[in-house]
Amino acid sequence: MTDRGTFPAHGTPAAELEAQLGDMRAGDLDWRGGKAFSLVYNSGDERHEALLETVGHSYQHDNALNPFAYPSLLQIEIELIAMAAGLLGAPPDAGALTAGGTQSIFCAVQVARDHARAERGIAEPKLVTPRTAHPAFAKAAHYLDIEHVLVPVGADGRVDLAALDGLVDDRTGLVVASAPNYPFGVIDDVASVAALASDRGALCHVDGCLGGWLLPWWAELGEPVPPWDLRVPGVTSLSADIHKYGYSFKGASVVLYADRALLRHQHFWYDEWPGGTYASSGPAGTRPAPPIAAAWFAVRHLGADGYLEKARQVRDATRAFQAAVEAVPGLRITHEPDLSLFEFTDDRGRIDAIAAGMHDRGWHLDRQQGGLHLMLSPHHATVVDEFAADLARTAADAEPVEGGDATGPDAGYGGIAGRRS
């Protein structure tokens, strides 16, 4: 008999598989409980979730690869891109939907590479990013075989402009600024970065994957928000994830360009294939329809007033969590955040013990190189008192650890549930 490894010889009854999945999921991240601070952006609104599930379900089996087979998806996509463009300062047709922030960033880097080659005659353009920029840029540089130059950041967590000035040269194809960056929640000086890039003829991408769907409302709440989007002269592309603060489920992001001519570098068209002409607007082939339809539904259903209200909840939760951290003697926010996320550390050497103690109390705080990381969603407002009490108790119980810190092989995303001791 052919050896097929673990491939099932016979079908398994659905009830058995469902039960098995239920058991397997017992250890999964419990984001609904409000004790997780990354990966899922909890809108705090189960009715909203249910509506999106219904929309997603109705599109479950459709394929957005060929929008002409699905006029509804074509219309949804065009409208969603135009709405995002209106929010973030792009022409209404100069963008594309992707499955996530990493893909949006990949597209922007590829466009910049091909723009440098086609328009500027630079065979091997370079990508220049702050050290704090998301690893998606390093990944894109790796896959696209582009030299990646890292720029240090200053004490405030923003890219060091003097260092940037020295590192952008006539081979630079793309310069990146984050709005905000993930580790510290601070926004780079986008206007200065974009001006510097534009002076040298380079493109400038703003990574608004995290902030793109929150910053517009943050500003409307009266919070200080420096200019950061495609309205800033010199900014040529922007990524913004709808599956984060756009409050839709996973698989929806948008990449926008200052000019539709740039987007054209992202389009792929091939007619050497016996199967016929093949065209796509980005790297994906078959594309799931549910995230696209649900993202459109989320934006239309919430609208500016809905997003503003959720932003108010996020802002208030952020202030409350900052206060909870600052109320504990020794704990310190490492960089004054511009948005809804921050890193904190302990000046008394207990951060590792605090990480472990909070984990034992059910809190999933991400470990970073310089401390613990919190990112707030609307739902967190309901758990802030419990958090404050647990943090104070944990810190009081924590013994300083020799050389203790939150860093190590299990730091970051992968260290969410990790314990070092």
Ligand X SMILES: *Cc1c(COP(=O)(O)O)cnc(C)c1O
Q: Which residues contact ligand X (rule: CB under 6 A)?
A: 100-102, 134, 136, 178, 182, 207, 209-210, 241, 253
Closest to ligand X by CB, 207 vs 343, is: 207
Residue nearest to ligand X (CB): 101
Q: Is the peptide bond before 13 cis (omega within 30 degrees of 0)?
A: no
Of the two residues 136 and 351, which places its CB atom closer to ligand X in the complex?
136
Least Cβ distance, residue 208 to ligand X (angstroms): 8
* Cα–Cα distance for residue pair 52/65, rounded to 1 Å: 21
Q: Which amino acid is at 160?
A: D
- Please state the closest distance from residue 11 (CB atom) to ligand X, in A: 35
- Shortest distance, position 252 Cβ to ligand X, whole Å: 9
Output 189 or 207, the one with its CB closest to ligand X.
Answer: 207
152: which residues sit within 8 A by CB, 6+ positions away?
Answer: 130, 131, 159, 160, 163
Distances (CA, A) of 291 to 97, 100, 397: 10, 10, 45
Q: Least distance from C-beta 134 to ligand X, angstroms? A: 3
Q: Tell the smallest beta-carbon distance from residue 243 to ligand X (Å).
A: 6
Residues 84 and 243 sit within 8 Å (Cβ to Cβ): no
Closer by beta carbon to ligand X, 153 or else 209: 209
Q: Give least dist CB 98 to ligand X, A.
A: 9
Q: Are 326 and 391 in contact (CB under 8 A)?
A: no
Nearer to ligand X, 187 or 398 (CB): 187
Taking the complex as a whole, how short is the minimal distance between the CB of residue 178 and ligand X, in angstroms? 6
**Amino acid occupying residue 300:** R
Rg (the chain; Cα; Å): 23
Work out the angle at residue 111's Cα, subtended by the Cα atoms of residues 292 and 412, and round it to the nearest 5 degrees.
65
Q: What's the rounded Cα separation, in Å, for the pair 123 and 413?
A: 35
Of 132 and 394, nearer to ligand X (C-beta) is 132
Q: CB-wise, 156 or 360, nearer to ligand X?
A: 156
CA angle 132, 97, 168 (to 5 degrees): 35
